[in-house]
Amino acid sequence: MADRSEFRFVVDGVALSQDQKVAIATAIQKAGLDALSGAAQAKLVNPVYAGHLNPTLRPEWYGIWVVDGPIGHELGSKINDIGFYQ
């Protein structure tokens, strides 16, 4: 089984508008990707990035998923079948 790491940022007791939540999620996604390649110097082979900021589909989750290695390649190939992956 592949390695998996999950990182969370939780804000409790602060009322945020939907626009504020999206702005925070966008900034956290960018910071996470920058940390992965910059601070952590992770060597990704062929990553697939799946992000989500659509509150009507999944209002409980604002995040990004980075999938690499054989699973990332398999997922990317399936996505390529519908024309989105290179």
pTM: 0.64
> What one-character DSSP code corresponds to residue 45?
S
Residue 24 near residue 16 (C-beta atoms within 8 A): yes
pLDDT per residue of the chain (86 residues) written in tens, 0 to 9? 468 788 888 889 999 998 898 888 888 888 888 898 888 888 888 788 776 666 666 666 777 778 888 888 788 788 777 766 45
Which parts of 15-80 fold into alpha helices (H)?
A: 18-34, 69-80
Q: What is the pLDDT of residues 50-73, one digit of tens each?
A: 766 666 666 667 777 788 888 887
Residue 28 near residue 11 (C-beta atoms within 8 A): no
* Residues near 11 by beta carbon (within 8 Å), at least 6 away in sequence: 24
Structure tokens at 35: 């940390």
